[in-house]
Amino acid sequence: MTIELSPTEWRKELISFSKNGFTSSDIICYKNKAPEQLVNPNDIKRIKDAFMKDCNENRIKRRAQYDMRMIQMRPLFAGLPQFEKICKNRDNFFVDSCCKTYLLRDDEDEDKDKDIYEDSDMDKLHEKVIDLKYIINLCGYNLTKLDVQAYPFSEIMPLINNNCPNLEILLLAFKEIESQDFENVFSNISHLMSLTIQWRCEYSTLPDTLAKSLEQVGGTLDYFYLQCISKNNVLCLPNSLALAFLRFVVLKRLRIHGFEPSQLLIGAIGLMENLVNLSFFFSWKKHQMIPKKIDMHPIGYLKNLEMLNIDIDSGVTDEFLINLSNNARKLKRLLIIDTYITDKGIDALKNLKGLKTYPGKVIMKKYKYNIKLD
């Protein structure tokens, strides 16, 4: 019979298991080796078979590793049947990550965008959320990665902030929100390096409370991905977000997809001195007759850019490309989509000696150039 541990002993046991699991010499990587580069088309079957064999062997090894970890965790299960039940569910990746990661996943056949849920769907989600909140309350202090995109409700945010101070990677989604849920919502998460927010709200953009709270991770955030998947409405990011962007002093990778840009936001991005990778995408809705004119000129001052993707039919001009070529000397990959470029702008890009085609050409809606990099 396993003796129940005191809360202090249990915490020490969990931290010890988590630490030893990651430093073990026989740990099995979850990334399968990529197929070797194809040289002869006749080798396709051989390479595919070898890759599948490697995947199957790793799957068997990972299962054995999981079983061993479950045995090692037995002292942690005493008196905690719900914790044991959660650990038996490999979909959450909790045990496989040595209790460092928790993934709240949708069922494979579940439509993230559907508005009407069957009772069975709600029951499944409710059970998953109960498990999620249980783990956050019990051992959120040990988590370094949390993915809760399958639960797009802002009410989870205060719980995460209060119990998960060591998070480094956080993936969120929001479909139903309350502004007060975002007040000081990152105040306790002082190690956050990667943040993904998927915005599913149809009629409201980011509240100012969330924009203000983002300032709290400005000193640590390395990667920020902000995606809007509104089907019918044009959502513009609040101007208050520009103030948060000015606090992102170590940000290297920024992706903004689906939101209508504002000039104030572009200006703030242009001041991110450490930015290396910038992706900016916006798809105009069919009913939006006149696209807003945006001046992309501030982005041309980013000297450390290595990758730039501007998929917006506005603001990319010859003058912008000339400015970019004079400043972004480290630029390696460039994708722009626009209708206002002439040979003058394309010629300016030839000054970027490190530029590589992406993928093979800089693409525009009216023009397609294959830049020769002499």
- pLDDT over 80 (residue 17): yes
Residues 331-360: tens digit of each pLDDT: 998 888 766 788 888 888 888 888 875 433
Please give the mean pLDDT across all residues of the chain: 84
The confidence band for 3, taking pLDDT boundaries of 50, 70 and 90, is confident
- pLDDT over 50 (residue 284): yes
The pairing of beta strand 362-363 with beta strand 101-103: unpaired
Residues 242-255: tens digit of each pLDDT: 999 999 999 999 99
Global pTM?
A: 0.86
The confidence band for 291, taking pLDDT boundaries of 50, 70 and 90, is low
**How many Cα atoms sit within 13 Å of 335 on the Cβ side?**
12
CB atoms within 10 A of CB 72: 16
Q: 333 CB contacts (<8 Å, ≥6 apart)?
A: 306, 307, 308, 355, 356, 358
**Res 231: pLDDT:** 74
d(CA 284, CA 286) in angstroms, rounded, equals: 7
**Res 118: pLDDT:** 54
Instruction: State whether residue 145 is helix, strand or coil.
Output: strand
Q: Which of 41-45, 47-51, 182-186, 366-370 has the lowest mean pLDDT?
A: 366-370
The DSSP-derived string for 285-343 is: -TT--SPPP---GGGGG-TT-SEEEEE-SSS--HHHHHHHHHH-TT--EEEE--S---H
- pLDDT over 60 (residue 364): no
Q: Region 226-249: what's the mean pLDDT?
A: 90
Q: Region 287-302: what's the mean pLDDT?
A: 75
Q: Region 302-318: what's the mean pLDDT?
A: 86
Instruction: State the DSSP code for 21.
Output: H
Residues 52-74: tens digit of each pLDDT: 767 777 888 889 999 999 999 99
Q: Region 70-82: what's the mean pLDDT?
A: 96
Q: Region 138-153: what's the mean pLDDT?
A: 98
Instruction: State whether residue 280 is helix, strand or coil.
Output: strand
**Res 360: pLDDT:** 35
By the 10 Å C-beta count (0-12 exposed, 13-18 middle, 19+ buried), 185 is classed as buried
**Res 348: pLDDT:** 86
Q: How many residues does the chain have?
A: 374
Q: Which of 8-17, 239-248, 317-326 has the lowest mean pLDDT?
A: 317-326
Residues 185-217: tens digit of each pLDDT: 999 999 999 999 999 998 899 999 999 999 999
**Res 125: pLDDT:** 86
CB 184 within 8 A of CB 157: no
d(CA 296, CA 267) in angstroms, rounded, equals: 8
**Res 141: pLDDT:** 98
The confidence band for 42, taking pLDDT boundaries of 50, 70 and 90, is low
**Res 184: pLDDT:** 97
Residue with the larger pLDDT of the pair 136 and 316: 136
- pLDDT over 50 (residue 287): no
The pairing of beta strand 368-369 with beta strand 362-363: antiparallel
The amino acid at residue 236 is C
Q: Which of 136, 97, 135, 88 is nearest to 19 (CA)?
A: 97
Longest Cα–Cα distance in the chain? 79
Q: pLDDT above 70 covers what percent of the chain?
A: 78
Residue with the larger pLDDT of the pair 83 and 311: 83
Q: Which of 15, 135, 17 is nearest to 69 (CA)?
A: 17
